[in-house]
Chain A
Amino acid sequence: MTMIEDRLRDYYAARARAIEPEDIRHIVPLPQDSPRRRLKALPRPALLAPLAAAAAVAAVAVTAATLSGTVRPGQSPAAPMTASSLPAGARSVAQLVSAGVIPPHFVTLAANGDPRSVPSYAVVRATATGARLATIQPSAPDGTIVAVTGATDDRTFVLAEEKSPLDSAYSLNLHHGSFYLLKLRSDGTVKTLTHLPITPPDGLNSLALSADGTKLATGFRLADSSGIRVYTLATGAVRTWSDGGGGFVAEGMLGRQDAASVSWAADGRHLLFQWVDTAYVFHERLLDTSLGGSGLLADSRLVLTMPGQSLNCQGDVIITPDGSAAICPGLTGGEGDETVFFREYSTATGKVIGQLGTWTYGHTDQFLLDALWTNPSGSVIIGVIPKASQPQTSPSTGPAPIPDVTPSPPPGSTPRIGVIIGQTFTPLDLTGITNGVW
């Protein structure tokens, strides 16, 4: 707690006390011609759609299907796929999948009738069609699968399950939780689902499976410290890096189901994470897990600091598998004139080395922005961008086609998730995905 925060709390408390209970008017007579009777016959829109519900879709753990197959430690990543190297006209999602530009499967978390829209189970889906390939239910009756992360082979995932009823729709922390290793067959159906004999850290707030699926990194945040814990799945070995307090490892930007605030390079050695200092300045740091220490800041180096004068990352910053770049889902401008983009910064120098997808919005119904997956070089991204609430989205630079503009969606409708190559946004077909909320 900082001095300014203390002063704010004192100010708000004092101001609130100015209104006493007896000052409050009685409720006005409720209208007897309530339109609810007329609306009964109409379809029910998702009126109460918490962001967590939208984040359930955004929590897709899309894993990298590289053009040359799995990237192993020490092996050079596949040659980057660029827009210019795509087959001519390969712009539909199905074409992008069949060309190996994006992975064929993803896993999303879905609610199970829970009134708080808590995700309860995981669903494996086909990227090209959104078709359901497999469903993984929690092991306990009151359990819920709260997070998922994947390796680059598009077949190996780790699921985090909370066995006791959740007391919050927003906390990733597991009180009676477990990790499970999910292996898929080539057709996306479940091959094995194995309980991992490792204990999740207290204060879990993020997780990332390494490219080869052998190591699980977890971010945790406690009252007096935070850090990163890495588990070697085959041996159960654990290493922990702690910041010793004074800041914290941030959780995912889109809520509990979005666990991607930590991300691995394909070398299985470098891990990008977001750390927030006591002045609320956000830092992206790169942890070298080959170093022998236990100090989070000592064993990591600074890549980016934000918000800076020109840097305002609104979504999780993820590292490209080749380790060369940190991708920032960024925002400039203010309400009514917001420009979003995916800017790439060199992990070596911190300088801008590229930018994808630049769009300017007049107004958005929901402001959701995040990077979910990137190919090895960062030339292809799967990301979440806001939906315009007025038909005035326009490209701010270049003649590239813009996302198609649809009428303002009802509250709670899905954010736009799609493939971003250059300035082109190709929306994923998510019509088959329903979590009971939209």
Chain B
Amino acid sequence: MTVHSGSVPASAEDAVEELYRVHALGLVRFALMLTGDQVTAEDVVQEAFIGLYRRWDRIRDHASVLAYLRTAVVNGARSAHRSRKRAGMLRLPADPPAWSAEAAALDGEERRAVHAAVSRLPRRQREVLALKYYLDLAENEIAAILRISRGTVSTTAARALATLSKQLKEEP
């Protein structure tokens, strides 16, 4: 959904709640790719929307709120990752709990192998892959969200694909 300045609801509350209704599912799914578990993913997305609400009056470009939210999700996931590090969980869980819906979704050796390989990648590589292959964003859009150059996106993606190919033993 594109929000045009002429159609923004009257209040910030209404606007943010409408945006949440439209985008929350996609953003939680995206956050899941970065955080590794649904509870943290939902927390990160909630925080992103609260942050959006707090800054609503300072955002000049309401058409770009989705890009803002994606950036906030990335930053929130990084914070969650740092918290995990402090708690001694140095890596994302390599496998979701066996009873979870996610485990069911990852049914099959192939997907589990990809999951394990992706989980072992450095953070920036995981972010670039999720933005590129889950959200299907162009490299320049990824660059804008991660605040890195397109060249960094390209080389980061290339290195990640090369690593995955090696781990999964196939040509990239």
Binding site for B on A (CB under 8 A): 2-5, 7-21, 23-25, 27-28, 30-31, 34-36, 39-40, 44-48, 50-52, 115-117, 168, 170-171, 250-256, 276, 278-282, 306-307, 312-316, 329, 331, 334-335, 365-370, 411
Q: Which of B32, B68, B130, B138 contacts A19 (CB 8 A)?
A: B32
26 contacts between A and B (CB under 8 A): A10-B110, A15-B33, A15-B102, A16-B33, A17-B105, A18-B32, A18-B105, A19-B102, A20-B101, A24-B24, A27-B24, A34-B54, A48-B59, A51-B140, A51-B147, A51-B149, A115-B62, A115-B63, A116-B63, A254-B151, A280-B158, A280-B172, A315-B149, A367-B149, A370-B151, A411-B147
Q: With a CB–CB cut-off of 8 A, which chain B residues contact A366?
A: 147-148
Type the 1/0 row for B138-152, where 1 means its CB is closer than 8 Å to any CB of A.
101101100111111
Residues of B within 8 A of A8 (CB): 114, 118, 129, 133, 164
- The answer to whether A47 touches B55, judged by C-beta atoms less than 8 angstroms apart, is yes
State A39–B56 Cα separation when bound (angstroms).
Answer: 11
Known: A4-B165, A5-B133, A19-B28. A25 touches B59 (CB 8 A): no
Do A279 and B64 touch across chains, with their CB atoms under 8 A apart?
A: no
* Contacts A4-B164, A170-B141 given; does A369 touch B111 at CB 8 Å: no
Which residues of B have CB within 8 Å of A50? 64, 67, 144
Q: Closest residue of chain B to A334, judged by CB?
A: B122
Q: How large is the interface on B (under 10, 10 to 19, 20 to 34, 35 or more residues)?
A: 35 or more
Are A256 and B140 in contact (CB-based, < 8 A)? yes
Cβ contact of A11, chosen from B118, B138, B154, B158, cutoff 8 A? B118
| A413 CB, min distance to chain B CBs, angstroms | 11
Across the interface, A36 reaches (CB within 8 A) one of B42, B57, B114, B148, namely B57
Once the chains bind, are A27 and B17 in contact (CB under 8 Å)?
A: yes
Who on chain A is nearest to B104 by CB? Answer: A18
Check B102–A3 contact: CB distance below 8 A: no
In chain B, what residue has the closest Cβ to A39? B58
Residues of A within 8 A of B148 (CB): 366-368
Contact B171 A255, beta carbon cutoff 8 Å = no
The answer for the CA separation of A315 and B159 in the assembled complex, in Å, is 16
CA distance A418 to B54 in the complex (A): 36
Which residues on A sit within 8 Å (CB–CB) of B42?
24-25
Please measure, in the bound complex, the distance between the C-alpha atom of A296 and the C-alpha atom of B140, giving whole angstroms: 25
Q: Which residues of B contact A39 (CB under 8 A)?
A: 57-58
- B90 CB-CB contact with A under 8 Å: no
- Interface SS of chain A: helix, strand, loop or mixed? loop
Contact of A281 among B25, B158, B164 (CB under 8 A): B158
Contact A170 B138 (CB under 8 A): yes
Contact of A28 with B60 in the complex, beta carbons under 8 Å: no
Say if the beta carbon of B46 comes within 8 Å of chain A.
yes
The answer to whether B168 and A116 have CB atoms under 8 Å apart is no
Q: Chain B binding site: helix, strand, loop or mixed by DSSP? A: helix
Question: Are B25 and A19 in contact, with the CB atoms below 8 A?
Answer: yes
Q: Evaluate contact between A255 and B157: CB separation under 8 angstroms.
A: no
Distance (whole angstroms) from the CB of A328 to the closest CB of chain B: 10
Partner of A27, one of B32, B49, B61, B106: B49
Which chain B positions have C-beta within 8 A of A367?
147-149, 152
Given contacts A4-B161, A10-B111, A21-B25, 12 further A-B contacts (CB under 8 A): A9-B133, A30-B16, A44-B60, A48-B68, A250-B154, A255-B150, A280-B162, A307-B155, A313-B151, A331-B152, A367-B147, A369-B149
Residues of A contacting B110 with CB < 8 Å? Answer: 7, 10
Chain A residues near B56 (CB-CB < 8 A): 34, 36
Could you tell me the distance between the alpha carbons of A256 and B139 in the complex, rounded to whole angstroms? 11
Query: Nearest Cβ distance between residue B50 and chain A, in whole angstroms?
Result: 7
Bound-state Cα–Cα, A282 to B61, Å: 35
Residues of A within 8 A of B120 (CB): none
Query: Which of B59, B68, B144, B157 is within 8 Å of A51, CB to CB?
Result: B144
Residues on B with C-beta less than 8 A from A7 are: 110, 114, 168
- When distances are taken between beta carbons in the complex, the residues of chain B under 8 Å from A34 are 12, 53-54, 56
- Find B111's partner among A14, A48, A252 (CB 8 Å cutoff): A14
Q: Are B58 and A36 within 8 A (Cβ)?
A: yes
Closest chain B residue to A15, Cβ basis = B105
Q: Which of A11, A12, A254, A279 contacts B171 (CB 8 A)?
A: A279
Shortest CB distance B172–A (Å): 5
In the complex, how many angstroms separate the beta carbon of A222 from the nearest chain B beta carbon? 16
Chain A CB count within 10 A is highest, among B61, B100, B159, B165, for: B61
Minimal beta-carbon separation of A249 from chain B (angstroms): 13
B28 shortest CB reach to chain A, Å: 6
A365:B172 contact, CB within 8 angstroms: no
Residues of B within 8 A of A23 (CB): 38
Could you say which of A40, A252, A255, A334 has the most chain B C-beta atoms within 10 Å of its C-beta?
A255
**Residues from chain B with Cβ under 8 Å of A253 in the complex:** 149-151, 154
Q: How far is the CA of A18 from the CA of B61 in the complex (A)?
A: 33
Partner of A335, one of B61, B62, B124, B150: B124
Question: Which A residue sits closest to B13, measured CB to CB?
Answer: A30
Task: List the B side residues contacting A370 at CB < 8 Å.
Answer: 149, 151
A255-B151 in contact (CB<8A):
no
Residue with the highest number of chain B CB atoms closer than 10 Å, among A5, A11, A251, A331: A11
Is the beta-carbon distance between B134 and A12 smaller than 8 angstroms? yes
Q: List chain A residues, Cβ under 8 A from B115.
A: 11, 15
Please determine whether A282 and B155 come into contact, CB atoms closer than 8 angstroms.
yes
Minimum distance in angstroms from B54 CB to a CB of chain A: 5
Measured between C-beta atoms, what is the minimum distance from A408 to chain B in Å? 12
A312's nearest neighbour on chain B, judged by CB, is B155
